[in-house]
Amino acid sequence: MLTTIGKRLLTVLPTLIGVIIVTFLLTRALPGDPAAYFAGPAASKEAVEQIRVSLGLDKPLPEQFIRYVKDLTQGNLGNSLSTGRPVTTEIVSRLPASAELTLLGLILSMMIAVPLGILAAVKQGSWIDHTCRVVATAGVSLPVFFTGLLLVYVFYYILGWSPAPIGRLDAFTSAPPNYTGFYLIDSLVTGNWETFRATLSQLILPAATLCIFSLAPIARMTRASMLAVLASEFVRTARASGLDGRTVIITYAFRNAMLPVVTTLGMVFSFLLGANVLVEKVFAWPGIGSYAVEALLQSDFAPVQGFVLTMAVLYVLLNLLIDILYGVIDPRVRLEG
C-alpha cells in the first residue's frame, strides 16, 4: 500500500508544477495594474512606479517566476496587498470555514442520494425511481447561486425560519475556542450548546445549497451502478440461495457497486470546492472562496495564486484518498497496485 501511495505522489508532481506555471502566467495576464490600484487614482506616475518596484513587478517575468518558486519552497505564498497579511495565514484561518461547509453539504447529499439511488434501482419504474430522476434533473439544471438566493428568499425573507446570511455566526454569538477551526466540532468539545445551535442554523442554508447541487451525480451513479450489479449472476445466486433481500442488497450488491460511487464522490467534492466560491459570496461566508474573489477583483496576485495552489493540493490529496479507499473496498485493486 505504501508503495502504491508513493507511486501516486510521484505522478502528481508534474500536475502541481503545471498548476504553478499556469497560475503564475494567468495572474500576470489579468487586466489591471496592482500598483496603480493600491496607489490610488490620485497618485502620480512616480508613486505608482515606486510601488511597482517594491512589489517586484518591474522585473522580467522569468525573474519574477524564479522568485515566486523560491518563496514557495520556503512555504511563503506572499503577502496580500489588500489585507497586508501573509497569504498562508489567511488561507489557514479561512480554510476550516470552507471545509466545514463543503463537508456538511457532501454528507447531507450522501445521506439522501445514496439511499435514494439504491431504492430507485431496487424498485425500478416505481414512483421512487421517478423521484430520483426528477431530483437528478433538477440538481443539474439549477445553478448553485440561484439555488442559494432562492433558499434565502424563501426561508429567511418570506418564512423567517433561517437567520440572516451574514457568515458563520450571528452578531450576538462569539466564536468557540479554536481547536480544529470547525465551529460545530469546537463548540461540541467545549460543551457550548448555544454556539453549536447558532453555528448549525447558519450552516443549514448554504449546506443545503451545496447538497442540492451534488445530489444529482451521486444519486444517478448509485442507481446506475446498483442496476448493473443487481443484474449480475452472483446476486441472482444469492437470492436463489434464500438469503434475506436486505442482506443481498446491502452486503453483496451495494458493496460491489461502491467503486463507481466513491469515484463520483471524489469528483463531486472537487466540484463543491469550486461551487463554494459562489455560495460563500451569496451567504457572506468567510472562506477561501470569497477571499479569492475579493483578491481577484482587486488584481491582488498572491491570494489568487495561493487559492489555486491550495485547491490543486486538496484535489491531489482527495484522489490519493480515493485510491486508498479502492484498496479497502476491493482487495483486488490493492493487489493489482
In a domain? residue 308: yes
pLDDT tens readout for residues 212-261: 888 888 888 888 888 888 888 888 887 887 777 777 888 778 878 888 88
Is the confidence at residue 208, as pLDDT, over 80? yes
In a domain? residue 56: no
**Higher confidence at residue 84 or residue 108?**
108
**Residue 79 bridge partners (DSSP):** 86
Domain coverage including residue 330: 95-145+207-336
In a domain? residue 8: no
State the CATH number of the domain containing residue 320: 1.10.3720.10
Residue 59, judged by CB atoms within 10 A of its CB (0-12, 13-18, 19+), counts as middle
Residue 48 main-chain phi, psi, to 5 deg: -65, -40
In a domain? residue 306: yes
Closest CA to 55 of 27, 71, 78: 78
| C-alpha span between 138 and 140 (Å, rounded) | 5
- Residue 275: pLDDT band by 50, 70, 90 thresholds? confident
- Give the helix ranges, DSSP H, for 233-300: 233-240, 245-247, 255-282, 288-297
- Residue 206: pLDDT band by 50, 70, 90 thresholds? very high
In a domain? residue 51: no
In a domain? residue 29: no
In a domain? residue 299: yes
Cell of 118: 439504491
pLDDT tens readout for residues 109-132: 889 988 888 888 888 888 888 888
Count the domains in the chain: 1
Lowest mean pLDDT among 55-64, 197-206, 208-217: 55-64
| Run of H or E residues at 160 | none
Q: Which range in 15-19, 129-133, 183-187, 323-327 is most confidently predicted, on average pLDDT?
A: 183-187
In a domain? residue 324: yes
| C-alpha span between 141 and 2 (Å, rounded) | 42
Cell of 137: 434533473
What is the pTM assigned to this prediction?
Answer: 0.81
